[in-house]
Amino acid sequence: MSKKRVLITGAAGFLGSHLCDRFIQEDYEVIGMDNLITGSLKNIEHLFKLKDFTFYEHDVTKFVHVSGPVHYILHFASPASPIDYLKIPIQTLKVGSLGTHNLLGLAKAKNATILVASTSEIYGDPLVHPQREDYWGNVNPVGPRGVYDEAKRFQEAMTMAYHTFHGVDTRILRIFNTYGPRMRLNDGRALPAFIGQALRGEDLTVFGDGSQTRSFCYVDDLIEGIYRLLLSDYVHPVNMGNPQEITIKEFAVEILKLTGVDQKIIYKPLPKDDPAQRKPDITLARNLFGWEPKVSRSEGLKITYDYFKTLPRDAWYESEHYDFSKYIRK
């Protein structure tokens, strides 16, 4: 019997590349797609030699064509860090809206199940803590994060509409802060920022007084949850993340301890609309799939630090120059 085919958008990104690995492991045929604005082919380099992996360099805000059957679509293409939203706000809005529309159209045409990557950002700066799926959020549509938050809120609405109106088999996953190998050291988010600073011998920059909280989930736990959600039949939004909450200042101290460096913490202004607290309520995922994170922060941080430490030194200073053009199908 021929293998099930899965299309993964954002395949060269952090989560997308881990998903490609997982679906290859599960014996699927994987079609990766990415426009490489924020993704890096370095993340999927090891897959190019496999016959069950194909990569297309394509921007999903343009019509998406895939020949042959497609059984599953995982829509993970999007800039995902606050500094990316500031640098590429229009693309961020377009991939969550037009891109989602194209992929829902493809799912309908191919009779595929589609899972869209939504986010804890749809809760904005939450007034309810921890956040459950039935909380509607507190988002500033015209703030710096609005381009991401509103695109993802639109994405959820569009996905639900394709489910109710066209009967497309859909899944909506609300992802909370996730970390692990293959994040971009220069993507501006707290964990790669702190580890990068530690490696380069710089002081760690905490924004505000560092009392804002986040809850960090190790990537393998999330990927397991995505796999279970996709293969379930649950069409309403599901939170996934690690409910272990920590202040950003404590988090910076943990990174200093882990890396053993003697740099200081310095304080910078808090970015506008930076959520004061964030922690998922994962009761729903627990009840539906028996899912919960297994990797502790100390284990996950160690694996992640080891990954960054062993990157070529110039990667700590950001630029990556690899020529993968021969592997790409335009």
* Footprint of ligand UDP (CB under 6 A): 81-82, 177, 189-190, 193, 205-207, 212, 214, 248, 271, 274
Q: Which is nearer to ligand UDP, 32 or 146 (CB)?
A: 146
| Nearer of residues 184 and 214 to ligand UDP, judged by Cβ | 214
Q: Look up residue 288 and give its amino acid.
A: L
User: Shortest gap between Cβ of 13 and ligand UDP (angstroms)?
Assistant: 15
For ligand UDP, give the closer residue by CB, 138 or 164.
Answer: 138
Residue nearest to ligand UDP (CB): 189
> Which are the contacts of 307, defined by CB distance < 8 A and separation ≥ 6?
180, 181, 182
Least spacing, CB of residue 22 vs ligand UDP, in Å: 23
Nearer to ligand UDP, 16 or 32 (CB): 16
* Cβ contact 68:5 at 8 Å: yes
How far apart are alpha carbons 41 and 17 in whole angstroms?
9
- Three-state secondary structure call for residue 42: helix
What is the C-alpha to C-alpha distance for residues 218 and 38, in angstroms, rounded to an integer? Answer: 20
- State which residue, 231 or 276, has the beta carbon closest to ligand UDP: 276
Yes or no: say if 90 and 106 are a contact pair by the CB < 8 Å rule. Answer: no
Least separation in angstroms between residue 184's CB and ligand UDP is 12
Q: What is the dihedral of CA 250, 254, 260, 262, to 10 degrees?
A: -10
Shortest spacing between CB 249 and ligand UDP, in angstroms: 8
Is beta strand 245-247 parallel, antiparallel or unpaired with respect to 213-215? antiparallel
* C-alpha to C-alpha distances, 54 to 102, 146, 284, nearest whole angstrom: 20, 34, 35
Question: At closest approach, how far in Å is the CB of 225 from ligand UDP?
Answer: 18
Does the annotation mark 148 as catalytic? yes
Distances (CA, A) of 28 to 6, 20, 65, 199, 327: 7, 9, 19, 38, 20
- Catalytic one of 148, 179, 218, 305: 148
Catalytic residues: 148
